[in-house]
Every structure is written in structure tokens, then in C-alpha cells.
Amino acid sequence: MSAGPAGTPSPEVPSPPVTGAWQEGDPRGDRRWVALDKPLGLEAGGELPGVRLAYETWGRLAPDASNAVLVLHALTGDSHVVGPAGPGHPTPGWWNGLIGPGLPLDTDRWFVVAPNVLGGCQGSTGPSSVRDGGARWGGAFPFLTQRDQVAAEAQFADALGIERWALVIGGSMGGMRALEWAVTYPGRTGSLLLLACPAAASAEQIAWAAVQLHAIRTDPHWRGGDYHGARAGGGPHAGLGLARRLAHVTYRSEPELRARFGRLTQGVEDPWRGGRYRVESYLDHHAAKLVRRFDAGSYVVLTEAMNSHDIGRDRGGTAAALRRVRARTLVAGVDSDRLYPLAQQEELAAGIPGADRARIIESPYGHDGFLIETEQVAVLVRELLGSS
């Protein structure tokens, strides 16, 4: 039992689960599943059998399937784009205000689809999933690239009867996959909205990710990725929490952190006398939330896939790859983004035929601005779909 500020007992905080992944037997919530009808061949070699993708939809698919929109989530997102938290959904939707009747993705007109990415942990096949034989994949889960994930999503679209997306939209990791859709399947991508993403992961982005991966893999509870059978509280929570703290700093901007927290402290006035800075509490809060809703193995697999992102690989370079895009495209970046700076979106806009120029989302919130500034994203969505 811990003590509160005045020395009164505080209730114990329950130990986090070994993994925050969705598990068989958990409430299904609004998600559904598609099982791929054949093993997925992987870019690095080999194949992944028994793949299924969890997804959610809004609206109704037209008889000719011409009104389908694909929404692709970022690293720790999932298929629950909009809607409240509840059984089966540990957090509310991450883009509330974008999908629904009369909203930019108007469900009276559009059929909106959001899959949980392959390698994820909210219902799609990933390290926490049970494989043939009854064991978890764990550390045996194969290395994935963004192209592998998009190849799985293409089979998923086939299963839904969708030959061509009216719009593919994604930001950050979701933007990487959206770009892969437009380059790999140009005939299946009608319009394209790329938010806060690059043509290829840069050395600095890989470096930030490498430190996060190291934090997880050096956690003594990591066990080579085979920790899913541990008791409650026995997962690599310290490593995952540290990775989240580091990542979250890159997601926000220095001016925002300065304005919100400055040098303000909690409890004891001086941190060197037992107190701490409020910004530390803020990072602790985000770390604690993530370990209860995410899986460390998925964090590793998805981060490595993001590091692999290079639209020009085996395609004659970035410029040649971008020229393959046939979709009507808008590219936008956040003016305060220090993780995926505007220069990377300017490269995309300059290289994609007809993309013209990169649009700017004005936000004090850094990289997370593409999630927070919904009204500015809405303008871009309406511009693309209004003339589609």
C-alpha cells in the first residue's frame, strides 16, 4: 500500500496485464475479422500462414463497391477510429469527428473501412496471436515490411469485394502504408491523402526507433519476445513504458511542452529533494496507459516495419517510385513536427504527379497535430472527395 501526499494510504494500482493485446475470449466490440485464404509471402523471404485482420466499418458499401474509403492507423492506433471506449475497446476513437453522418467522411455516402495492421495487437495476427499448435507467436513472429502489411490489406480488400478505394488516407505509419498502396496498386487507389509521413525512414527516425527497441529488448522480462505466458505484471512493461516516453517526446513540440509544463513541479518543490517535474508525470501517464492497451512484441514488429519503409527500394529509387502514383493526391505536414519534418512531405508532393505542393497543418502540438487538428484534416478530405 502506498501513501498519498498527506501520508494517508492510497489504493494499490493493479499490476498491468502481461500484454495489452486483444485476446480470444475478450469482448469483440465493434471489430470483425477477415481471414486471408492463403499464406502471405513476405518481402524478406518465407511466408506467414493463418493471417487474419481485424477491422471496423462505418456506412454501407454501394452495390458497385465504388464508395469505399480506407483509413490506415499509426503505430499505436487500431481499427477503432471513432466511437467511445467500452467492452473490447480500451480507448475511445483516435479520430473522432472525422467519420459519421454529415462529417467529412460522410457515412451516408461513404463506406469507411479501418483494419488493424498486420503485426498489431487489437485483433489482427501479431506476436501475441496463437499460431498453429496452440502456442503464441512471440519472438518467432517474422520480420515484416510495410509492403507485407499492404499486401495483406490488398487480400483483405479482395475478401470485402473492394477492387478500388475511392480514397486511401493515413498519417505517420498509416501514411507510409497509404503511399505503398498508391505505388504498389496504383489502379486500386482513386484518391490519396498522406499526412505527416516520409518517402523513406530517415537516419534520425531510425535512430529514435532504435533506442526504443533497445529499451524493450533489454527489459529482463522481454525473454526474447516469449513473455506472453508470464503472470500478470510479468511482461516487459518497464521497457515498453520507456519506449513510449521517448517516442512521446518526439511526437510533441518543444514550445508546447514549455508552455504546458515549463519547470513546474509536483509535490515537493525541488525534484532533487524527492519531488519531480510535471512533464515527468505527463510522460509517466502516457507510458502507463500504453502498457495496459498494447503489446510490446507488436511495438517491436511495427517499429521495425517503419524503419524498413523506403518507397524507392527495388523500384529504381524514390523519384521513379513516386511517378507510379496515379491517384489524385494531397500531401500535408505539420508545421511543428520535429519527427517527420515538412521537408519530407515537400519531397513527396514534388515527386507525385499532380500533387502540386505540400499543404501545411498549423499546430503547436508537433507530430501529433495530424491527429489533433481534425478540422484542418477535414478540409483536405472534403477537397479530395468533393470532386472524386
DSSP state of 335: T
Pairing mode, strands 111-115 and 52-58: antiparallel
Active site residue 80: no
Active site residue 89: no
Task: Determine which one of 219, 310, 337, 368 is catalytic.
Answer: 337
Task: Determine which one of 172, 253, 308, 336 is catalytic.
Answer: 172
Q: d(Cα 112, Cα 59) in Å, to the nearest integer?
A: 6
Tell me which residue of 143, 123, 127 sits closest to 135, measured CA to CA.
127
- C-alpha dist (Å) from residue 217 to 76, 243, 283: 18, 10, 20
Per-residue burial over 182-217, b if 16 or more Cβ lie within 10 Å, else e, is: bbbbeebbbbbbbbbbbbbbbeebbebbeebbebbe
Q: d(Cα 29, Cα 209) in Å, to the nearest integer?
A: 31
Bridge partners of residue 52, in order along the sequence: 35
Active site residue 367: yes
Secondary structure E strands in the chain: 2-3, 9-10, 32-35, 40-41, 47-48, 52-58, 68-72, 111-115, 167-171, 191-195, 265-266, 276-277, 328-334, 359-361
Q: Residue 378 in contact with residue 98, Cβ under 8 Å?
A: yes
Task: Determine which one of 73, 89, 228, 367 is catalytic.
Answer: 367
Please list the active-site residues. Answer: 172, 337, 367
